[in-house]
Each structure stands twice: as structure tokens, then as C-alpha cells.
Amino acid sequence: MARLADKKKPQRIQTYAESVETDPAHHLVGPFGPQTPLGGGSAPPSPPGAPKRFLKNGNAADAPWSTQSRGFWQDLTSLRWVVVPSSSLKILLLVVVLWANWEILAPYVSKDLPNPFTPLLFISHYIPSSSPDDPRYQKGYLDLVFVAYHIVLWSFVRQSITIYICRPIARYFGIKKAAKLDRFGEQAYAVIYFAVMGAWGVRTMSKLPTWWYDTKYFWIDYPHWQMKPELKRYYLMQAAYWCQQLIVLLLGLEKPRKDYYELVAHHFVTLWLVGWSYLVNMTLIGNAVYLSMDIPDAFLGLSKLLNYLQWEKAKTVVFTVFIGIWSYFRHWLNWVILYSVWNEFDLVPESAKRWSPEDGVWLVWWMRYQIFAPLLALQGLNLFWYFFIWRIAYRAITDVTLDDERSDDEDDGEDEVDEKED
């Protein structure tokens, strides 16, 4: 009996970790759900308006989520470049070539003529009065052009990593089913993205007066419209990432999931928070919120990766560390931010406590509540997920069996299509 119990024990964390993303009663939906369209895999019935599937009776390449190109022009006009890395790469290179040609030829035509492709590749709206040794940038309409180009960049990076790097790794470690190949790629990309952006967020904050949540500087010297170049670039790259995620969902370019509507709502809310904080010159508090979200997500993705690889000891250790990381970043630091909004808002200079967009000031008295409410709602979601994280940990310890309602049997019949698409 003891030996039998020992054999069962390594399977516990795997079962509970899988339940995080598949059990409708307690899975972590929203930003934690699988989102990358990678060929095969099971999916629940499509929500209204979602694309139909063509796996059994038709050509898999005709499916809306197929990563096979239908020709550059068709991929461009149908927006399938979002999921076809070869087409998104062509768009990226086209802009780079046009920019380079302009740089080479412009001196012979007109030296004073600005390169129209520069705003796509580099941040714009430099403040001429700022010191060259410590340049500053303001927001402007050309920021939208930068975001648009980097939506294409994120599409290429995401699909390239998941298809050409993560899939071969997953197969090397014995993962064969199409759905699990998809999920492995999704989580591997999540680990890379959130780890890089989390590290970048730390680096960005280290150059700001708000370093490690010195929250009074969220408000002192407001408005913070003169941004350091790295802060502006970081913020716009985050905005481009979430726009890319929303495009994939709204156009039905990925296989619909059970939490389809929750994902759409989550992305809309995220973009609203990103856009609004950027508009009203609250980028310092925005950086703090981003950082508190990205780092825990990296550890969550890593624990799922180890679960797919069935590295029992490693995933148990990482899951334990993840709980600590989540507790500190998603709860303690978020409560620190909420406390600051409620109690330190009055540190805003009196001259800035008015609604005057032309002067870059927006913080009238009621903005305290407008800032506090969505952050409190975000903390409510975090507490909701936190409860289920601890429930998973408790059931893993007490060995209460949880079944994955989306069984591996659902993947059968799509493995062949998955192999053909590669």
C-alpha cells in the first residue's frame, strides 16, 4: 500500500496544475488561458460569430487559425499575418527596407525632409528643450503608428517562438498530442514574454523616483508628461502586445476557448487601463502595476511548463515559489498602490488639481475614485484567483483527486492534422 501511495504522489501536482486552466469551477481564466493558435488541439463549441472548424472533412490549411500562408497579399488583406509568421516578417522587413532607403537617398534629394518611416521603428515626440544627456519625450499621435508596427512585431515573435522553438522542444520531451503541443508553446511564450517584460519593468522603475514602490512620487510633481525614453518605449510595447492579443480574439484567428468572452473582456479592460493611464500622464503608477502583474505570470507559466514535462520535484518547488511571488506582487504591492491612491492623492500639486488636457493635468477631485475603482476591481480578481491557487495547493497536499474535464481523448483525430501542418 505504501509503495502504491508513492506511485500516486508524483501525479498529484500534475492533476491539480492542469485543473487550473481546464476546470470551469476554479481555473484561472483571463490572461492565464491558452491563447496561441498553433494548428491542432481541442476546443469547446465555438461561441456565436467564432470561426468554424475544418479539420476532419476539409484541409487544415483552410482553417482560420492555420499558420500556413495563403500568399502574402491574402494574408495581408485578411489580417492572417497575425498568425502567419512568414507574412508578419515580410511586413516588418518591408518597413525596415523603406526606412533604410529613405535614409540613404534623402541626403541627395532633401536633407531637411524627415523620414516618414522613422515613427514606426522609433519613439517620437522628443522634447527639444530637454537635455541631450537626459532626453525626454511627450505623448502624441505618432505613438499610435509605433504601436501599430509593434503589433506586427509581437505577432511575428509570438508565432515564431511557439511554432519553431517550443514545438520541437515539446516533441523532444515526449509531448505528442496536438492540444498539449499548443499549450506547451503558449506557456513557454508566456514565460519568455512576462520574464522579459518583468525584468524590463524593474530596470525602468530603477531609473524613476518611484523605485521599488516609493508611492508618494506617483503624485509629487504631477503631471509626469515628460517621459524618459525607456519608460515611453516600455509603455508602448506593452500596449502593442495587448492590442495584438485582442486582434487575434476579435477576428477569430485562434481556436475559441471556453473562456472566450472572458478573454475578450479582460483584454478590453487591460487596454482601457493602459490607454487611460497613458493619456492622463499616470505612467509612473502604470509601470508599478505592470510590474506587479508580469513577474507572477512568468512563474505561473513556468509551473505549467514543468507540469507538461512531468518534472515532479521541480514543478512542486516552482509552484511553492510561485505562491510566494504571487502573494507579494499581486496582493501586498497592489494593496500598497491602493493605499497610495486613497491616502496620498492629495500630494498632487494644487495647480494640477484641475481638468485641463491642454496643460496635461487631469486630476480633479473625483479622479481619486476613478483611479481607485479599477485597481480595486483588479485586486478583487486577484483575490478570486488566489483562493483557487490555495485550494489547488490544499488538495495537492490532502490528495483529493481532481479530474480534467477536457480530457486528452478530445484531442484524438487531430494529431494527424497537427503533424501535416508542420
Output the pLDDT for position 258.
62
Q: What pTM did the predictor assign?
A: 0.79
Pull the grid cell for residue 329: 506582487
110-139 tens-digit pLDDT: 778 899 999 999 999 999 999 989 999 999
- pLDDT > 90 in the chain, percent: 52
- The Cα 25–Cα 182 span in angstroms is 23
Question: CB–CB of 84/90 below 8 Å?
Answer: no
* CA dihedral for 5, 10, 13, 19, sign (positive or negative): negative
Cα distances (Å, whole numbers) of residue 315 to 189, 310, 318, 382, 389: 18, 8, 5, 22, 14
pLDDT, averaged across the chain? 81
> 283-309 vs 2-22: helix axis angle to the nearest 10?
140
C-alpha cell at 216: 508618494
**Interval 171-212: pLDDT, tens:** 999 998 888 888 898 889 989 999 999 999 999 999 999 999
Angle 87-89-91 (CA atoms, 0-180°, nearest 5)? Answer: 75
Q: Report the alpha-carbon distance of residue 140 to residue 236 in Å, rounded.
A: 12
Asked if residues 65 and 51 have their Cβ atoms less than 8 Å apart, the reply is yes
Q: What is the pLDDT of residues 84-116, one digit of tens each?
A: 999 999 999 999 999 999 999 988 887 788 999
Residue 147 has pLDDT above 50, yes or no: yes
